[in-house]
Amino acid sequence: MKLSDNMTNTVGDRLLDPGNSRVWRGLAVVAALLLLVDVGLGWYWSQEPPLTPVVPAADAVTGDTTTAALIMVSETLLNKPGGYLSNDMLPHRLWLDDMPSWEFGVVIQIRDMTRVMRRDMSRSQSQSEDDADLMRAEPQFNFDNASWAIPATEREYQRGINALKSYRQRLNNDRAHFYARADNLSYWLGDVQNRLGAMSQQLSQSVGRDSLSEKSDPSRKTPWLEIDDVFYEARGGCWALIHFLRAAEHDFAEVLEKKNALVSFRQVIRELEETQETVWSPMILNGSGFGVLANHSLVMANYISRANAALLDLRQLLSQG
């Protein structure tokens, strides 16, 4: 028998020796403590960031507040407690999926806002040249939201943030443009309206009922284990959207006043703010009809639908001469 085989057998015999059970107990205690710490950190990291007041700078140029809000939302996504979790490989990733769903909702709104700034708000007309910094920022935020390495999602998103900061600096030095026109605002609100409509539809499919349409097409109903994912994705999207709308209220103030649309604009924000109320239940409940259990998805869908209805009125006002 080889010497290496003898050593392997000897080490194995020692580990299996009942007299060394303290080693296994010690390892079990360490593993349990590490798991407990991971659960505690996961719970802390799952706390949603609060709404941040959007305060325009005293001498802010048109577009600076919207760009600053986009940068702030993007940096919060990466720098909140626990950092960016959608590509996390630690064990808590298996049971703490609400925050990654929330993050994806935020990412969708960041992508939409960056695209509309590049496509519409920074260009004077359809044949104008795209802004160089916004052209760099848009594809960075469209990078895979769950890439762990080579490259990591955080690194790509940070490059997008850096490009936005460069655009903001140029904007304040009169070397970039932001056109706060009624048509540009209406284009963006059209995208927002489509997103809110999709959110409301997904939340409605999470409702616990067995309608004829769902019986004929079961794929229309959200699986039970994905109900909380849909809820928190919508919640994250609304969180980001509130900041962008608050900033746009300042940058498009002249247009909103001219079109008598300020009241309708603020109504949209108020309805979306209701989606950020504290969820006191330890889990997302979806009771059926007027049953005993609450229906969180239906409540969320109601607020989003009300905001969407206010958006329709708002866009009609913006389209008037």
The least confident of 63-67, 147-151, 277-281, 289-293 is 289-293
What average pLDDT does the segment 47-68 reach?
A: 93
What average pLDDT does the segment 198-226 reach?
A: 68
Share of the chain above pLDDT 70, in %: 82
Asked if the bond preceding 91 is cis, omega within 30° of 0, the reply is no
DSSP states of 129-144: PPPHHHHHHHHHHTS-
- Mean pLDDT (the chain) is 86
Residue 275 · residue 304 · CB < 8 Å: yes
118-162 tens-digit pLDDT: 999 999 887 789 999 999 999 999 999 999 888 999 999 999 999
What value, to the nearest 5°, has the Cα angle with vertex 278 and ends 109 and 312?
45
* Residue 3 pLDDT grade (very low, low, confident, very high; cuts 50, 70, 90): very low
Q: Which of 107, 106, 175, 166 is nearest to 135 (CA)?
A: 166
More confident residue, 249 or 290: 249
Helix (H, G, I), strand (E, B) or coil at 314: helix
Neighbours of 29 (CB within 10 A): 10
Question: What distance in Å separates the CA atoms of residue 104 and residue 304, rounded to the nearest whole number?
Answer: 17
Residue 38 · residue 92 · CB < 8 Å: yes
249-275 tens-digit pLDDT: 999 999 999 999 999 999 999 999 999
